[in-house]
Homo-oligomer: A and B are copies of this chain.
């Protein structure tokens, strides 16, 4: 029973490192601790393993769809936090968001796999798009919009402000996925990014 899930787990790891085509069912089986033919007791074929991973991810997203937020708690908590927001705590929140995306094991493997497989078919492209473009921009846009309505940040174009907030995070994330040893450097740059962001968009009355 647990084997079924372990297969997905190990397959995801391998797919994220080498891509679907370069992973052999044998490799997956080996990591699970069984022989390749036994995999077929759990999944119809290799493709079904891949599909199951995508399905599992889709349900995880559904779950967290409402609760996705910067500090891992519920959105109301976020709103409260932002009421008392200052530069330092914003930097802290931003960094944590970045580090969550970067280190959370499932998130990370899934992102790398999608990066590799995104051109394989329309559906995967769409999943990627949702995860790393639509969702972050809409969620963060909501939060930043809140800060604007509370006068903590100032702009007449929240979507673009959100783009300015998020796109460096995204860029640096891809950098670290590629070259993990750049993490410290990325964090330093990220901190400067947030600081600058705050200077640019923060209420100028000091």
Contact = CB atoms under 8 A, between A and B. Distances in A.
Interface of A: 16-19, 21-22, 112, 115-116, 118-120, 125-126, 128-129, 133, 155, 157, 159-161, 163-164, 166-168, 170-171, 175, 177-179, 189, 192-193, 196, 200-201
Contacts of A118: 115-116, 178
Contacts of A167: 167-168, 170-171
A17 B175 CA distance: 22
A163 B157 contact: no
Nearest to A175: B133
Contacts of A120: 18-19, 22
Contacts of A157: 192, 196
Contacts of A129: 175, 178-179
Contacts of A115: 115, 118-119
A161 B196 contact: yes
